[in-house]
Structure 1
Amino acid sequence: MRTMTDILPVKAQAEAVARPTPWFRRPAALWWGWAAALCLLYSTVAVRRHMLLRTTGYDLGIFEQAVRAYAELRAPVVPLRGEGFLLLGDHFHPLLAALAPLYRLWPSPLCLLIAQSALLALAVVPLARWARRALGRRAAHAVAAGYGLSWGIASAAAFDFHEVTLAVPLLAFALEALGRRRWGPAVAWAAPLLLIKEDLGLTLAAVGVYIALKGPRRLGLATAAAGLLGSLLEITLLLPALDPTGGYAHGGNLAETRTSLLGALAHAPLDLLRPETKATTLVLVFAPSALLALRSPLALIALPTLGWRMVSENGFHWGTAFHYSAILMPVVFAGLLDVLGRETNPRNVRASLATVLAVTAVLLPSFPLAQLAQRATWQTTPHLRAARALLDEIPDGATVAASNRLAPQLTSRCTVVLFPTFPVGGRLYEYRREDLPPPTTEWIIHDERTPEAWPYRPGHWPYPLRQQRAELTAAQEKYGYEVVAARDGVTLLRRAAH
């Protein structure tokens, strides 16, 4: 006969089986927990930058004007880019309209900044899930930390808002599907890239090439053709039709500087690495994976973005700043997972992940997430208080010409153009003081404490502040603006009534 002592362990085991697993111990809690934590981290950086007047009209203000137009069921006409300037003629990003319902509920630049933070953080879900399935729980934490703290994502999270962040989670989910050899879902996740930016059709084509090499050839070739044809149509037909000048606005960045095709081909390999900034960026792109991603064929999906950046004539495209590398980080970590998933020695996997975390730790202080540890990030200076006081003087619905760093403080409630270089004919033009076109706005607000070279071309004036002061004087002396208030370098003017 069985005694009570014999029965208790069996009963306890049955209760343990019947008891549901706590939510925080479930596998999904790992990747969704990381996504929530990273969203909070990115949002903190982005919101603090905005509160410190470090965001800009170019680009946060521009995108807010576009999303605000979508939310009000209007075409995305952006006054910061010029009178009647349709932003779809600059880059082809109709999927940006997906943010309009959120903006309708919360009409604020913070809405875009937090939405961007959420999108960047969301990409950790498929990457951590893939790592958990292929390598285990600890590896998933390491991959999530490596991606979440990577410099490419940090640079995007801390610089205004950009449409490319819509592509980051889509590509991450597509890469996870490729890793699981789920070819149809991979194409479905990657196809919307065509609606985010005109060059991302080339990334879709690269996904198609990978599928053709590793999976069903017909599906891969069809996907590659769709990506190439989509980018071609957008660049040669749609964008010129929507651009005020009738051309592709960014075609000049890819202008051929050599006179002969043979010379161009001969110098192409070196041109991809000169100046040295390009070589440094190429190394840093793959550094978060301890360079292991280079051993994966998935790294080929990074080639279109790296290619156009390295051949561009725009020096901003060559470096590590801004948002240009965000789309590359999911590719790098997918390549890492592909390589480690084929590794048979657990010791090598652990050593590789330890190296990934070490590289992440070394690079972290050099990129924007480190701003959270700086005292200045959490201080409100007299200059900030003065600027906000004068911004509050401008009524809702007014038309305003604002300095670059003051513009996004107003775009949710005013019609804003850039001061001091006024947009004319859909493009920014530069003028001497005597040639400056008359301002058309009701208000002007200018901050000389943050005189930026942008939007001036290098060499136009030795000191941009000198021209800005001249243009501010011209507004008063030639065009009848009166100073309403001036505090700590911030000047507020209003057009005199006639």
Structure 2
Amino acid sequence: MLAALLFAGYAALSVSRHRRLQTSGYDLGIFEQAVRAYAWLRAPISPLKGPGFNLLGDHFHPILVTLAPMYRLFPSPITLQVAQAALLSCSAIPVTRLAIRVAGTVPGFVIGAGYGLSWGLQNAAGFDFHEICFAVPLLAFSLESLVRERWRAAVVWAAPLALVKEDMPITVAMIGIYLALHGRRRLGAAVTAAALAVVLLVIMVIIPALNPGGHFSYLSYAAGASQDPVTRLLTPSVKLHTLLLVLAPSALLALRSPIMIMALPTLAWRFWSNNPDHWRTNNHYSAVLMPVVFVAFVDGLARLRSRRPHLARPVTVAAATSCAMVTATLAPGLPLWDLTSVAWRPDPTATAARDVLRQIPDGAVVAADNWLAPQLTNRTTVYLFPQERAQGVRPEWIVTFAQPKAFPDPNLQAARLADLPAEGYTLVRQDDGVLLFRRTAGS
């Protein structure tokens, strides 16, 4: 029942944001272009990333092909959002089941609800679509199996993580180390060796082979190491704030469990990165940490109860209460809170934009503003405005806002907007700040 309620909440949040033009080409539109290509048995080319850009040369996420049959039946960005809601919500099943097994029905349900309403999952559900939604349930089921010493089941659940994103096999390697430390040395060594081999193959061979520049672009995030490693990992203070929020729902009990080693790869690459977006708590980056910290929380609680059996009940009640208090305290600032009011308010700009976009025929080639792109990717070929000109693309249609948005470059967007008449484009529709241009015949 908890998973069903979470699914309803996540899906309502995602769809309402899309209806209010709060989803973007980067990233919902990009992922829809890839899944749309898979659905019609083509390579995952994303024009929003650039002409002929194979998305497997950006990140390695072939698991997206599993969405193709559903998308073929329901070709819409909402299909991706609903799939993400389902994947995130079903991850609550193993976490809650384990919590009830350890703590009892009521405290276990409270901890499970704390997991489902955790800031990491909410931020993922509230920000477009990302392949990492596949990793969340796979990790949750795998870690539950580890705690229950179902070793082979843990490996079976963990194996598909190699198909989610190029960094996830390192987490699988940590699962192998956990197995080795718990007496399954041969199995653990095999899992670790295979996972590290996959990382090297993907980053050094597969992605460069498919990338237009012939390299793995995101290695640049590791550049610029001017300070010592400890300083780089722990400063600025926003990193410590993120780490504190990761651990807060568990009242630090997660630190009692060796399951927490599974969080190290994700925390390490994020805090080592020179991209400040990776350090913060917004977007989808912390989603994979939530099953780790909550399973570690439950495991840490079980270990404490076994060592202090006379304190088992008060410790359990205190842990569940702490989790509930953290959840309630953070709730007003998290995406699901929108469902209490703003998600249901009419949005005149969104209504006007959809009316304007209906003038663009199916199958057209369009350059669209980042916030309008995912409204079109299910039925047209969409490039990103204003970059499309530099990429050598001359679309028939251009749709954007009269007031440039912050992404990708408002100054460039304003300059291009002024140049469109000279480039042969005529304004054919304007409504509530949404502008639609069409290329003049022969221009």
- Normalising by structure 1, what TM-score? 0.86
Spell out the pairing of 1:99-110 with structure 2 (5 A cutoff). 99-110=67-78
* Percent of aligned positions that are identical: 52
Residue of structure 2 in register with 1:384 after alignment: 350
Tell me if 1:184 matches 2:184: no
Residue of structure 2 in register with 1:494 after alignment: 438
Instruction: Tell whether the 8 Å contact from 1:82 to 1:423 is kept in structure 2 after alignment.
Output: no
Q: Distance in 1 between matches of 2:300 and 2:261?
A: 14
Instruction: Tell whether the 8 Å contact from 2:369 to 2:385 is kept in structure 1 after alignment.
Output: yes
Tell me if 1:363 matches 2:363: no
Q: Distance in 1 between matches of 2:360 and 2:110?
A: 49
1:66 is matched with which residue: 23, 31, 34? 34
Residue of structure 2 in register with 1:171 after alignment: 139
Instruction: Tell whether the 8 Å contact from 1:83 to 1:424 is kept in structure 2 after alignment.
Output: no
1:395 is matched with which residue: 361, 377, 382? 361
Paired AA for residue 444 in structure 1: I
Paired AA for residue 407 in structure 2: W
Paired AA for residue 447 in structure 1: F
Spell out the pairing of 1:264-279 with structure 2 (5 A cutoff). 267-279=228-240
For residues 334-376 of structure 1, give each alpha carbon's deviation from its aligned partner in whole angstroms, at most 9, with x where no partner exists. 00110112212211111111101101111111221111123x3
Spell out the pairing of 1:321-470 with structure 2 (5 A cutoff). 321-342=282-303, 343=305, 344=309, 345-374=312-341, 376-422=342-388, 439-449=393-403, 451-456=404-409, 464=410, 466-470=411-415
Report deviation, 1:255: 1.3
Tell me if 1:471 matches 2:416: yes
For residues 42-93 of structure 1, give each alpha carbon's deviation from its aligned partner in whole angstroms, at most 9, with x where no partner exists. 0011000000000000000000000000000000011000010000000001
Tell me if 1:34 matches 2:13: no
Classify 1:315/1:241 alpha carbon distance in 2 versus 1 (closer, same or farther; 3 Å). same
Q: Distance in 2 between matches of 1:496 and 1:217?
A: 69
Tell me if 1:287 matches 2:266: no
Report deviation, 1:135: 2.0
Tell me if 1:482 matches 2:426: yes
Spell out the pairing of 1:152-301 with structure 2 (5 A cutoff). 152-258=120-226, 267-301=228-262
1:84 is matched with which residue: 35, 42, 52? 52
Instruction: Tell whether the 8 Å contact from 1:205 to 1:228 is kept in structure 2 after alignment.
Output: yes
Report deviation, 1:268: 1.2
Q: Distance in 1 between matches of 2:99 and 2:225?
A: 45
Deviates more, 1:207-216 or 1:147-156: 207-216
* Counterpart secondary structure, 1:91: coil
Q: Distance in 2 between matches of 1:294 and 1:279?
A: 15
Aligned length: 436
Q: Distance in 2 between matches of 1:142 and 1:58?
A: 35
Report deviation, 1:256: 3.9
Q: Distance in 2 between matches of 1:269 and 1:385?
A: 50
For residues 312-350 of structure 1, give each alpha carbon's deviation from its aligned partner in whole angstroms, at most 9, with x where no partner exists. 011110000110000000001100110112212211111
Deviates more, 1:483-492 or 1:56-65: 483-492
Report deviation, 1:307: 0.3
Q: Distance in 2 between matches of 1:87 and 1:53?
A: 24
Q: Distance in 1 between matches of 2:349 and 2:368?
A: 16
Q: Distance in 1 between matches of 2:242 and 2:272?
A: 13
Report deviation, 1:420: 1.3
Residue of structure 2 in register with 1:54 after alignment: 22
* Counterpart secondary structure, 2:362: coil
Paired AA for residue 439 in structure 2: R
Paired AA for residue 400 in structure 1: V
* Counterpart secondary structure, 1:332: helix
Report deviation, 1:189: 0.5
Q: Distance in 2 between matches of 1:98 and 1:215?
A: 35
Q: Distance in 2 between matches of 1:156 and 1:48?
A: 15
Q: Distance in 1 between matches of 2:189 and 2:223?
A: 29
For residues 455-493 of structure 1, give each alpha carbon's deviation from its aligned partner in whole angstroms, at most 9, with x where no partner exists. 23xxxxxxx2x432320121211x211110111111001
Report deviation, 1:423: 7.2
Q: Distance in 2 between matches of 1:359 and 1:96?
A: 34
Q: Distance in 1 between matches of 2:347 and 2:172?
A: 46
Report deviation, 1:453: 2.5
For residues 216-246 of structure 1, give each alpha carbon's deviation from its aligned partner in whole angstroms, at most 9, with x where no partner exists. 1111111111111111111111111110100
Instruction: Tell whether the 8 Å contact from 1:401 to 1:416 is kept in structure 2 after alignment.
Output: yes
* Counterpart secondary structure, 1:304: helix
Instruction: Tell whether the 8 Å contact from 1:119 to 1:166 is kept in structure 2 after alignment.
Output: yes
Paired AA for residue 402 in structure 1: A
Report deviation, 1:128: 1.1
Paired AA for residue 362 in structure 1: T
Report deviation, 1:167: 0.7
Classify 1:290/1:281 alpha carbon distance in 2 versus 1 (closer, same or farther; 3 Å). same
For residues 385-434 of structure 1, give each alpha carbon's deviation from its aligned partner in whole angstroms, at most 9, with x where no partner exists. 21111011111111110000000000000000111122756xxxxxxxxx
Report deviation, 1:288: 1.6
Instruction: Tell whether the 8 Å contact from 1:42 to 1:154 is kept in structure 2 after alignment.
Output: yes
Q: Distance in 2 between matches of 1:373 and 1:77?
A: 38
Report deviation, 1:275: 1.0
For residues 237-270 of structure 1, give each alpha carbon's deviation from its aligned partner in whole angstroms, at most 9, with x where no partner exists. 1111110100001110111433xxxxx5xx2112
Residue ranges of structure 1 left out of the alignment (5+ in a row): 1-32, 259-263, 426-436, 457-463
Residue of structure 1 in register with 2:277 after alignment: 316
Instruction: Tell whether the 8 Å contact from 1:82 to 1:424 is kept in structure 2 after alignment.
Output: no
Residue of structure 2 in register with 1:127 after alignment: 95
* Counterpart secondary structure, 1:210: helix
Paired AA for residue 394 in structure 2: T
Classify 1:348/1:423 alpha carbon distance in 2 versus 1 (closer, same or farther; 3 Å). farther
Paired AA for residue 194 in structure 1: A
